[in-house]
């Protein structure tokens, strides 16, 4: 980890302060929901899952389930008192399937029992008969059947036909990229505690407490003020606990209200992987038109996404894909067709990057192919396509937003120099020329990622700051802590505002009864939105305190000159007291010492029908350079060296930001390499996910960390007025991993005759690499 170059503000902003729970994490003392002492009488829930991908339940015999010792309550769809839906946007996600089965692993009943073991044993005893139908299991089948969760969307910007007619070069191609399991280490869990006044408190490992509150209250036929949802920390989220926590929250709550007992549901890992949604897999077909330098003149792109059986967040995910097919490149003329396929698989959902990675994947593939076709360095082709640095003729995105803060060209140039890209590319070519079995490859790819929820109304946040009379501070806000360090950053922001040491500021758990109507902690926006809201609450309190100081000094002190620093409050030479002393005096003078803060992101607007507007407040940028080696006998490979340079604006906490960059990169590498979702395609178990546990689904381990891993922050203050001029960091680094995939493509290409198109599927498992190597080859050695 190299030293950050961003400038420091004060004592706390810009400092690499450890995660606020780090000591608790390492000592096992940090409590996750399943670690909390259980209330007396707690029951444990489990869900029965379908063993058919598509059809109707002919007979559901739960008598043996009910008779199992310890079982207290069994519910099916008819037992849901309110609305049987946990879909966040469209109401097409049953909490418990009725007669109609739409994927293998769908919840068909749920139970509560005295112990978790009893509940898990009992659900196995259901006898279910189905009238099965042929499931639609992949995008080709969905397209053939015109099976959509949302209507196809077509868009054209610029003179596409003319561009194709006049271009000197044309190419076409296809590509696929798989989905991805979140694999948060803490599985889905909800713990519903009924209260005495027709209300319920829900502890839920969720990124979206307010949505849980809404969906639970709808499921119960209650109103929102009857349900409160709380989360102190999650054991990872990555988008998988945005909407996907709702089904379990609803089941626990229904069972709790039904039995009058506290009910906890904690999914077994296999059930979690089978029954909760994942990243959308995509497939693409395109035609490109370009000039001799590789500059794109026109692009026609058809892309299809596997949304699974219901809409969930697939609409916004696909919108973000559309808004990221440009990545860092100006697209003069583009015709786009976006298909949202409905298949009989689990409903896919938010996952770090939220469709952005799938957009960038295809444009990088298009440019990579162009470079190989022209015999040019892929980096040169990428650079030829960048947006203008100073807004000009090549600055407007296909969705109508002008790129005003483009640092991609400078950032990429800096990384190309620091990673010694050109010399290493030459050294690799030399190595490959004399190495028939092992081939190396290198690639340098950029990232430009839009920051803000595409849906404008989500871009708001609230916070509640309490200053107690001893001068300590308690902060609540609408964001959730899933490991990213949001609470740590908020603590820094609040302590900085009041000029207090960190120890004087504490974060409370996130609770819908303290801060209402929260947005999901998603879209990388947690610190941007909640940081500003918390800061605004502090500013309100500080303004009152400053006015009080002025009043105390008979207006000899200007309220605007009151300073909060080093645990003291100062105004010129006349006034200098400890913060706690001022606070106590203010309390006695009946000054309000707590306040709420609110923030809404300025400047943004987006029309979801036309996909046009300024959806993003700003862009986050980055670039990565990866070197790989492949074994052409087996398709196995290793990532040998990675250099990352990433723009987080002025970092609030460089250590946390680098943690997001490194972790996002490795997670993205997993998506593009070893993490393969695999379903049975035929027979009675067609549609059954077989990669449903860590034994069969392989996320990266420590040995996959490249031997050389240089990670640096790019020196660049946000041009927009973000919190302390920082930039969002949760998602953008995920897409830095594209360089690994394109380095693998480069290595494969070096084993093929020059100019041969590389057909490498993602994830690039060893099998996929070997397939790409042997696609057009005699198999004999």
Partner 1 sequence: MSERPIQFYFRGAIHRIEGSAPTRTLLQYLREDLHQTGTKEGCAEGDCGACTVVIGELSGGDGEEMLQLRAVNACIQFLPAIDGKALFTVEDLASDGELHPVQQALVDRHGSQCGFCTPGFAMSLFALYENQPECPERDEIDHTLSGNLCRCTGYRPIVDATRDAYALPRRPLNRQPVIAALKALAALPPLDYQGNGQRSHSPRSLAELAALRVALPDARLVAGGTDVGLWVTKQGRDLGEIIHLGAVPELKTVSIGRERLEIGAGVTLTDAFAALTAFEPNWAELARRFASTPVKNAGTLGGNVANGSPIGDSMPALIALGARIVLQHGDSLRELPLEDFYIDYQKTALQRGEFVRALRLDAPAEALRRVFRSYKVAKRLDQDISAVCAGMAVHVDGDGIIRRARIAFGGMAATPKRAVNCELALLGRPWDLNTVRHAMQVLREDYRPLADVRASSEYRLNVAGNLLQRFWLETGSTGQTPARLSQLAPVQS
Terminal CA-CA length for the chain: 44
Tokens 């059986």 map to which residue? 309
Q: Which residues contact 586 (CB under 8 A, 6 or more apart)?
A: 544, 545, 548, 593
Q: Which stretch binds partner 1 (CB under 8 A): 70-78, 79-87, 410-418, 638-646?
A: 638-646
Tokens 């409590």 map to which residue? 31
Kindly provide the residue ranges of all beta strands, DSSP E only, lying in 478-633, ordered along the sequence. 505-507, 510-511, 563-565, 568-571, 575-578, 594-600, 605-607, 612-614, 618-631
Choose which of 61, 146, 198, 707 interacts with partner 1 (CB under 8 A).
707
**C-beta of residue 270 within 8 angstroms of C-beta of residue 244:** no
25-44: contacts with partner 1 (CB under 8 A): 25-32, 34-35, 37
Quick check: 641 binds partner 1 (CB under 8 A)?
yes
Residue 407: CB atoms within 10 Å: 22
Kindly provide the residue ranges of all beta strands, DSSP E only, lying in 601-694, ordered along the sequence. 605-607, 612-614, 618-631, 637-646
Identity of the residue, 442 or 467, whose beta carbon is nearer to partner 1 in the bound complex: 442
Please indicate whether residue 731 is annotated as part of the active site.
yes
Identity of the residue, 32 or 148, whose beta carbon is nearer to partner 1 in the bound complex: 32
Smallest separation (angstroms) from partner 1 to the CB of 189: 11
183-222: contacts with partner 1 (CB under 8 A): 183-187
Rounded distance between C-alpha atoms, residue 337 and residue 342, angstroms? 16
Rounded distance between C-alpha atoms, residue 686 and residue 50, angstroms? 12
Tokens 């698989």 map to which residue? 345
> How many C-alpha atoms does 333 have within 13 Å on its Cβ side?
18
> Would strands 473-477 and 505-507 be described as parallel, antiparallel, or unpaired?
parallel
DSSP characters for 728-752?
--SSGGGGGGHHHHHHHHHHHHHHS
594-633: contacts with partner 1 (CB under 8 A): 627, 629, 631, 633
For the chain, how are helix, strand and coil distributed in percent, rounded to 5? 30, 25, 45
Choose which of 423, 433, 555, 609 interacts with partner 1 (CB under 8 A).
423
Identity of the residue, 102 or 432, whose beta carbon is nearer to partner 1 in the bound complex: 432
CA nearest to 745, candidates 343, 365, 283: 365
Phi, psi of 374 (to 5 degrees): -85, -10
Smallest separation (angstroms) from partner 1 to the CB of 582: 33
Contact mark string toward partner 1, 265..304, x via CB under 8 A: ---xxx----------------------------------
Smallest separation (angstroms) from partner 1 to the CB of 122: 10
Rounded distance between C-alpha atoms, residue 45 and residue 112, angstroms? 4
Choose which of 701, 721, 776, 777 interacts with partner 1 (CB under 8 A).
701
Question: 613 - beta bridge partners?
Answer: 606
Phi, psi of 83 (to 5 degrees): -80, 130
Rounded distance between C-alpha atoms, residue 118 and residue 286, angstroms? 53
Choose which of 2, 7, 22, 39 interacts with partner 1 (CB under 8 A).
22
**Residues counted in the chain:** 781
Identity of the residue, 99 or 707, whose beta carbon is nearer to partner 1 in the bound complex: 707
**C-beta of residue 292 within 8 angstroms of C-beta of residue 168:** yes
712-771: contacts with partner 1 (CB under 8 A): 765-767, 770-771
> How many C-alpha atoms does 36 have within 13 Å on its Cβ side?
22
Smallest separation (angstroms) from partner 1 to the CB of 758: 18
**C-beta of residue 262 within 8 angstroms of C-beta of residue 38:** yes
Choose which of 695, 753, 754, 778 interacts with partner 1 (CB under 8 A).
695
Classify 9 as helix, strand or coil.
Answer: strand
Q: Which residues contact 611 (CB under 8 A, 6 or more apart)?
A: 153, 155, 319, 322, 323, 399
Q: Which stretch binds partner 1 (CB under 8 A): 264-272, 509-517, 525-533, 592-600?
A: 264-272
Smallest separation (angstroms) from partner 1 to the CB of 637: 7
Smallest separation (angstroms) from partner 1 to the CB of 484: 7
Smallest separation (angstroms) from partner 1 to the CB of 463: 22
Rounded distance between C-alpha atoms, residue 320 and residue 522, angstroms? 13
Smallest separation (angstroms) from partner 1 to the CB of 115: 8
Smallest separation (angstroms) from partner 1 to the CB of 454: 25
Choose which of 99, 129, 292, 420 interacts with partner 1 (CB under 8 A).
420
Identity of the residue, 44 or 218, whose beta carbon is nearer to partner 1 in the bound complex: 44
Choose which of 207, 288, 667, 722 interacts with partner 1 (CB under 8 A).
667
Q: Which stretch binds partner 1 (CB under 8 A): 167-175, 233-241, 561-569, 752-760?
A: 233-241
Quick check: 696 binds partner 1 (CB under 8 A)?
yes
Q: Which stretch binds partner 1 (CB under 8 A): 162-170, 235-243, 322-330, 609-617?
A: 235-243
Identity of the residue, 91 or 680, whose beta carbon is nearer to partner 1 in the bound complex: 680
Q: Which stretch binds partner 1 (CB under 8 A): 72-80, 290-298, 329-337, 772-780?
A: 772-780
Smallest separation (angstroms) from partner 1 to the CB of 778: 12
478-507: contacts with partner 1 (CB under 8 A): 482-485
Secondary structure in 3-state letters for 72-86: EEEECHHHCCCCCCC
- With left for phi above 0 and alpha for psi between -120 and 50, is residue 164 left, alpha or beta? alpha
Q: Which residues contact 58 (CB under 8 A, 6 or more apart)?
A: 129, 130, 131
Of the residues 211, 242, 731, 767, only one is catalytic, namely 731
Q: Which stretch binds partner 1 (CB under 8 A): 358-366, 402-410, 526-534, 704-712?
A: 704-712
Identity of the residue, 438 or 474, whose beta carbon is nearer to partner 1 in the bound complex: 438
Quick check: 5 binds partner 1 (CB under 8 A)?
no
Smallest separation (angstroms) from partner 1 to the CB of 557: 42
> Would strands 263-266 and 100-101 be described as parallel, antiparallel, or unpaired?
unpaired
Helices (H) and strands (E) in the chain, counts: 19, 29
Identity of the residue, 180 or 397, whose beta carbon is nearer to partner 1 in the bound complex: 180
Classify 48 as helix, strand or coil.
Answer: strand
- Residues binding partner 1: number (CB under 8 A): 104
Q: Which stretch binds partner 1 (CB under 8 A): 340-348, 495-503, 601-609, 659-667?
A: 659-667
109-168: contacts with partner 1 (CB under 8 A): 117, 120-121, 124
Tokens 């042929």 map to which residue? 134
Identity of the residue, 434 or 554, whose beta carbon is nearer to partner 1 in the bound complex: 434
Q: Which stretch binds partner 1 (CB under 8 A): 224-232, 326-334, 392-400, 437-445?
A: 437-445
358-377: contacts with partner 1 (CB under 8 A): none
**Residues that are catalytic:** 731
């Amino acid at each position: 980890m190299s030293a950050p170059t961003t400038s420091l503000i004060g004592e706390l902003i810009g400092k690499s302060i450890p995660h606020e729970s780090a000591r608790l994490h390492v000592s096992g003392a940090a409590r996750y929901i399943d670690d909390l002492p259980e209330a007396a009488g707690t029951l444990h829930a489990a869900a029965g899952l379908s063993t058919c991908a598509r059809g109707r339940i002919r007979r559901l015999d739960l008598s043996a389930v009910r008779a199992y010792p310890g079982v207290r309550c069994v519910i099916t769809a008819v037992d849901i008192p309110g609305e049987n839906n946990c879909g966040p946007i469209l109401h097409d996600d049953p909490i418990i399937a009725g007669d109609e089965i739409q994927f293998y692993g769908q919840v068909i009943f749920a139970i509560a029992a005295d112990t978790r073991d009893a509940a898990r044993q009992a659900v196995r005893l259901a006898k279910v008969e189905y009238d099965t139908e042929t499931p639609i299991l992949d995008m080709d089948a969905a397209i053939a059947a015109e099976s959509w969760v949302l209507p196809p969307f077509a868009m054209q910007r610029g003179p596409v036909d003319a561009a194709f007619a006049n271009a000197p070069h044309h190419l076409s191609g296809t590509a696929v990229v798989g989905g991805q399991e979140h694999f948060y280490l803490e599985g889905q869990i909800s713990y519903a505690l009924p209260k005495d006044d027709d209300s319920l408190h829900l502890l839920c490992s969720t990124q979206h407490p307010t949505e849980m509150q809404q969906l639970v209250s709808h499921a119960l036929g209650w109103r929102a003020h009857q349900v409160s949802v709380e989360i102190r920390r999650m054991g990872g989220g990555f988008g998988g606990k945005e909407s996907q926590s709702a089904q379990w929250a609803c089941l626990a709550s229904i069972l709790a209200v039904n039995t009058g007992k506290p009910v906890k549901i904690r999914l077994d890992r296999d059930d979690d992987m089978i029954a909760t949604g994942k990243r959308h897999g995509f497939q693409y077909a395109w035609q490109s038109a370009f000039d001799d330098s590789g500059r794109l003149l026109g692009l026609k792109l058809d892309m299809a996404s596997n949304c699974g059986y219901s809409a969930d967040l697939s609409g916004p995910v696909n919108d973000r894909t559309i808004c990221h097919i440009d990545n860092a490149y100006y697209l003069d003329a583009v015709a786009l067709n976006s298909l949202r396929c409905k298949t009989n698989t689990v409903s896919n959902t938010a996952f770090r990057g939220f469709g952005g990675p799938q957009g960038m994947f295809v444009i990088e593939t298009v440019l990579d192919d162009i470079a190989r076709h022209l015999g040019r360095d892929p980096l040169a082709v990428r650079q030829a396509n960048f947006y203008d640095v100073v807004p000009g003729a090549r600055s407007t995105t296909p969705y109508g937003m002008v790129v005003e803060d483009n640092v991609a060209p400078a950032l990429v140039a800096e990384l190309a120099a620091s990673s010694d890209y050109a010399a290493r590319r030459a050294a690799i070519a030399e190595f490959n020329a004399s190495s028939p079995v092992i081939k190396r490859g290198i690639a340098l790819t950029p990232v430009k990622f839009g920051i803000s929820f595409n849906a404008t109304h989500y871009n708001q946040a609230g916070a509640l700051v309490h200053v107690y009379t001893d001068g300590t501070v308690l902060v609540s806000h609408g964001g959730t802590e899933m490991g990213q360090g949001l609470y740590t950053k908020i603590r820094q922001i609040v302590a900085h505002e009041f000029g207090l040491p960190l120890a004087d500021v504490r974060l409370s758990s996130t609770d819908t009864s303290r801060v209402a109507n929260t947005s999901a902690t998603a879209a990388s926006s947690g610190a941007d939105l909640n940081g500003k809201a918390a800061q605004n609450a502090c500013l309100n309190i500080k303004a009152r305190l400053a006015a009080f100081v002025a009043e105390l000094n008979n207006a000899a002190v200007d309220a605007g000159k009151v300073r909060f620093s080093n645990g003291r409050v100062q105004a010129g030479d006349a006034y200098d007291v400890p913060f706690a002393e001022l606070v106590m005096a203010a309390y006695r003078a009946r000054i309000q010492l707590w306040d709420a803060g609110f923030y809404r992101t300025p400047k943004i607007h987006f029309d979801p029908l036309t996909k046009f507007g300024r959806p993003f407040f700003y862009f986050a940028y980055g670039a990565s350079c990866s070197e790989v080696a492949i074994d052409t006998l087996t398709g196995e490979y290793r990532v040998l060296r990675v250099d990352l340079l990433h723009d987080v604006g002025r970092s609030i906490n460089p250590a946390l930001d680098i943690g997001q960059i490194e972790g996002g990169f490795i997670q993205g590498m997993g998506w593009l390499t070893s993490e393969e979702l695999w379903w049975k395609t035929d027979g009675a178990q067609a549609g059954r996910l077989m990669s449903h546990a860590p034994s069969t689904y392989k996320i990266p381990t420590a040995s996959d960390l490249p031997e050389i891993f240089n990670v640096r922050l790019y020196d660049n203050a946000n041009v927009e007025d973000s919190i302390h001029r920082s930039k969002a960091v949760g998602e953008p680094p995920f897409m830095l991993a594209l360089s690994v995939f394109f380095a693998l493509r480069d290595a494969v290409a070096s084993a093929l005759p020059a100019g041969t198109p590389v057909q490498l599927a993602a994830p690039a498992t060893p099998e996929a690499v070997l397939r790409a190597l042997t696609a057009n080859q005699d198999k004999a050695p």
